[in-house]
Amino acid sequence: MKKFVEGSHAIAEVIAKCRPGVISAYPITPQTHIVEGLAKLIADGELEAEFINVESEHSAASVVLGGSAAGVRTYTATSSQGLLLMAEVIFNIAGMRLPVVLTCANRAVSAPINIWNDHQDSMTVRDSGWIHFYAENIQEAIDLHIIAYKVAEDKRISLPVLVGIDGYVLTHAFEVVDMPEQELIDKFLPKFEPIVHLDPDNPVSMGLLGAPDVYIETRYAIEKTMQDALSVIEDVSEEYSNLVGRKTGGLVEGYRIEDAEKIIVAIGSIVGSIKDVVDELREKGEKVGVLKIVTYRPFPKEAVYEALKNAKYVAVAEKAVSLGADSPIFSEIAALMYKKGARPLINSFTIGLGGRDISPAQIKQIFADMDKDEPNTRYIGLNEKLLEA
């Protein structure tokens, strides 16, 4: 069904249609509209679920951990400081192999306190054992949440999934979307059947102490599953795409990259703006394209390599940093290309931190500058006056 909705309300609606039994969250901008939406659906009797209003994000994550361990589909959402406060539990959920789904309404981290969009928050937990998806627009955000549950609960996977959606840019924007019908989701997403759970009739112990004789294998097992997840994500996305009659989800999306000499790699909503610039430059005959990473964990090495191997110049434009080192996605792509052999010139650009606007002119500037090599990341749109102060 087509409808015109706010991003957060679209997420609330689609989560409700995925029928989680336990939902827990704590207020933080710009995530709040999502869980307010869910609370209202429950209050109105439109969703059968337990909504637990907790006293912190640490507890929100712990509640969904407990609910998931008890064998029920769960949901939580957060942003920024909330995700940082959850971090301990985030690692724990993955280590316990619980298929929790979390929306991160991506927001900058403090200090200085800043409620606007970038990707520094979810990047802090990229190594935690969660599958990470990033949405370009509200439609993709809807689709990725449905795909997230199916992948997370797949018995071959059993890992949690974080869906990153850009704070404000997507959470508070309105878009016409195709909202899948309840029957379609019910058909696609069967009832959650846990591999093990806290069942008094068949008691198990979960969350045991892993001494040196067993610990490293638990990590290798997740790494192995992450590799297996690549094809599962592709298959699940294809199955879903066929059902809705639109291509969505998957690992990466190349836009006009087939013969491109210059490619920008990016994640999230900025990809839409880059696509517009690509179209404009293509009209002028420039061989440019953009590679969107939809699945950031597991990192789709094959797909990224295939997309970039014939390019002359690659720019990785990130809304995240690793202060004191190269930015995360740039580092991963540089390492990947080095290992696999193709040698486009790869450069790193930092964009849009703390919600700073990114203009088409700046994107054009990245396309223009990416053939000049620089040792360090280039921060786009710095106000030199502020730096003097």
Partner 1 sequence: MAVVADPKQNLFASGHTACAGCGQAIAAKIVATVSGKKTVIANATGCLEVFTTKAPQTAWRVAWVHSLFENAAAVASGVEAAMRYLGKIDEVNVIAQGGDGGTADIGMGSLSGMLERGHDILYVCYDNEAYMNTGIQRSGLTPLDSNTTTSPVGKRSRGNPRPKKPLLEIAVAHNISYAASASVAFLPDLKKKVEKALSYKGPKFLQVHVPCPLGWRHDSSLTIEIAKLAVETGLYPLVEYEYGKLISVRKIKVKPVEEYLKLQGRFRHVLKDEEALNQVREVAKANIERYGLAL
Contact predicate 106/167, CB 8 Å: yes
Q: Is the dihedral of CA 39, 43, 49, 52 positive or negative?
A: positive
**Of residues 66 and 381, the one with the C-beta less far from partner 1:** 66
Cβ 101 to partner 1, closest distance in Å?
A: 14
**Of residues 71 and 254, the one with the C-beta less far from partner 1:** 71
**Of residues 74 and 122, the one with the C-beta less far from partner 1:** 74
Residue type for 353, please? L
Residue type for 294, please? V
Strands across the sheet with 22-25, in order?
50-53, 22-25, 74-78, 101-106, 161-166, 131-134, 295-297
Residue type for 151, please? V
**Of residues 46 and 374, the one with the C-beta less far from partner 1:** 46
Cβ 109 to partner 1, closest distance in Å?
A: 22
Cβ 62 to partner 1, closest distance in Å?
A: 4
Rounded Cα distance between 307 and 345, Å, is: 14
Residue 55 backbone dihedrals phi, psi, to 5 degrees: -100, 0
**Of residues 48 and 223, the one with the C-beta less far from partner 1:** 48
Cβ 127 to partner 1, closest distance in Å?
A: 18
Q: Is the dihedral of CA 346, 351, 353, 355 positive or negative?
A: negative
**Of residues 71 and 381, the one with the C-beta less far from partner 1:** 71
Residue 30 backbone dihedrals phi, psi, to 5 degrees: -100, 25
Q: Which residues bind partner 1 (CB under 8 A)?
A: 21-22, 24, 48-50, 52-56, 58-59, 62-72, 74, 88-89, 92, 96, 198-201, 203-211, 214
Nearest CA to 37 out of 29, 47, 28 is that of 47
**Of residues 68 and 117, the one with the C-beta less far from partner 1:** 68
- Token digits for 118? 């970038």
Nearest CA to 314 out of 341, 295, 333 is that of 333
